[in-house]
Structure 1
């Protein structure tokens, strides 16, 4: 509609055509109002019944809520109107009538359960709070991309259909690929390493990953968005520096450019950018601090993975984002490099939010013989990964990287209760549609 004016741009003493959804109808007898909503806000359409054509009044006031309408008329100043102006219509056209019974209330006055909202995501996104989450998600990704470019990283796109899983195991989604078995990729890990080993050196990707996890919790998904970085001639310390800068940039972008959206989520006053530098605790220090909290029935010992209760206790103790470094080598994947002076320690690290883990990363093993040994130690067949391992014959530089769970970053940033709130159309064990 070339002649359409957004409601926020409607100015007194001009004739405009506005189009959007019927937010609500207020009938006061001799006068009635249609509140029209578009992406920029709402505007009041005034119907003076005795002075207007009956068909015009009937068309406007009989349109069910959430019908799509186009209204042409004069804009007048009206201090009592929600936005200080109102439109007196010359014409009203119903472009698409909505059913009179809606599965949820887009005004948000009547709350709906999350499954109902996800089943009717289009209607759900007409809620101010629902739309705000995804405007913020868009800004978060924009700011992250700018932060990657600031460290001279090139954006890449890697395959999502692969011959072998990145990490193997039972978390693979098998598919049939022209009569052959293939899998949905668990991570761009191996491919981003291959590109980092080229002359491109520093790369990043924001894209989907797939994991057939059995978990059915408020913080797990089977299709998620991974924000990945890999840098040649980087060690794990430099990788953590980049990670910290990207996370902070995401918060700064949202703080600067999403004030209205934060207000819609009641976060405008409480939202803050994380303080830097993030503390860096060794794994050994982490388990000592968890044990000191007394939150667990049994004390953690070297080699234990950190249980959810332990992570929460440590997060409460630290009070902000923090890294856990120097994990036991046996816990981390085969491609994570061990310390040269202590092979029991890996260069792997995790970035933690007080609520949950956000990032897994580390320096990668760039020496082919040690890489093959890592495959074998974790029960993987190096020959199945020949496309990956052969490149290490041709001069692979030292490199390091990490991956952020995009939905987890947004979930913790906006204090969401369920990770599905951070995904337009989530995929979990039960949900495959819409």
Structure 2
């Protein structure tokens, strides 16, 4: 007795999803794309759909298609064909077009035509959809890669990641720029910085870092300030001076920029930006010399105890012109311009300077992106500083007590991720370097 072979009833294998950036690998082949309707055109007998996915955009061409509203999520199956005028040099000739989830109303913004300098508040009001734009997500991709490189390099250098409280009983830097909140009937605050906790953790791991938001209740309305921003914090023990800290940041930035070259070339090209070269030794200049330089060379008189924004810009211009560096460390800040935990400068005779600290800032393309320095590690010196800053020693007990137990010389720095991202990409307003920015007027979305 013979039997017929069993007939398979299984559905044909489904094509794997292809990303738009990989279309060049499939010229002449059928692919399956999934993404969003970025733009559409209906020319009667022929329809054009620009499909956007996580990797880019591509043009899809078909006929008899029922096109949904822009931002609908769709699936396209079709044949890849080289086309010199299409995004990426290839288009997809549609065989099947499926709407996965249709947009139920028109987007409040025409995403392909958004510009950061046109009605920026409207773009932020509708951030839940404007963040889908190619330029918007490019900035966030760059920031994500910066953070990845920060993590990776510090781990290679023996640093341990920590997580510190964001609800605290006192500010790390004092002052009035604290967000107050009720904590079960007690006064509490949102953390300005993980500074005090990361110093404590130097006594545990010696080298620590954290990537987390910090909060500043400053009523700024400028293009360079946020009230919540992502801080990349580092603290390291057993240092000789702040030079060790600056050397570490120099290496961190070098690794960050090299990472961007390999992962974000397309994003920089899209935004017309360039990735800077980090010098092997970033230039350094004491604050008072920096003030004198911008006055003598550019005629800009600097008031106050720090550099004003114009002085920062001019100092960066000087180093870009004379040393080809987009970066410059400003060192030896006066005590009046540094927080209470800043270590005093040590004079040649071993005495402590009453006025100058081992604090520094890092400027990049005309703006401060880092504050750092060596910290006080001696208990008696710390208590004197707390009192000199007219802070309540009892309120600082949870922090200051650890300095009774052999804290090593240590220091660190913090990079504002959004500022660094914005300056790298030429974004005029730092709010566009955060997915959902918080400033003094914005709590939504």
User: Could you state the TM-score of these two structures normalised by the residue count of structure 2?
Assistant: 0.87
1:128-152 CA-to-partner distances (Å, cap 9, x unmatched) read 2111111111111111122212321
Partner residue in 2 for 1:148: 154
Structure 1 residue 387, shift from structure 2 partner: 0.8
Match of 1:215 in 2: 220
After TM superposition, list the pairs within 5 Å mapping 1:219-368 onto structure 2: 219-234=224-239, 235-267=241-273, 270-296=274-300, 298=301, 304-319=305-320, 320-340=326-346, 341=351, 342-368=353-379
Deviation at 1:13, TM superposition (A): 5.7
Distance change >3 Å, CA 75–CA 367, structure 1 → 2: same
Q: Pick which of 226-235 and 94-103 moved more.
A: 94-103
Report if the CA contact (8 A) 1:255-1:272 is conserved. Answer: no
1:334 Cα shift? 1.1
* 1:25–1:333 CA distance, 2 compared to 1 (3 A): closer
After superposition, the CA RMSD in angstroms is 2.3
The Cα offsets for residues 90-129 of structure 1, whole Å up to 9 and x where unpaired, read as 3x33222225533211112777522122122233233221
How far apart are the structure 2 equivalents of 1:422 and 1:158? 24
Residue in structure 2 matching 1:6, options 19, 38, 53: 19
**What number of residue pairs does the alignment pair up?**
416
SS for the counterpart of 2:150 is helix
Residue 205 (structure 2) pairs with residue 192 (structure 1): no
Q: Distance in 1 between matches of 2:343 and 2:125?
A: 44
1:24 to 26, 30, 39: 39
**Partners in 2 of 1:309 and 1:26 — Cα distance?**
47
CA deviation after TM superposition for structure 1 residue 170, in Å? 0.8
The structural deviation recorded for 1:392 is 1.0
Give the TM-score normalised by structure 1: 0.89
1:389 pairs with 393, 400, 422, which one? 400
Runs of 5+ consecutive residues of structure 2 not aligned to the other structure: 1-13, 321-325
**Residue 12 and residue 314 in structure 1: after superposition, are their counterparts in 2 closer, same or farther (change >3 A)?**
closer
Per-residue deviation at 1:377? 0.3
> Is the CA contact 2:31–2:80 (under 8 Å) kept in the aligned structure 1?
no
Secondary structure at the aligned position of 2:318 is classed as helix
Give the unaligned 5+ runs of structure 1.
Answer: 49-56
1:66 is aligned to 2:81: no
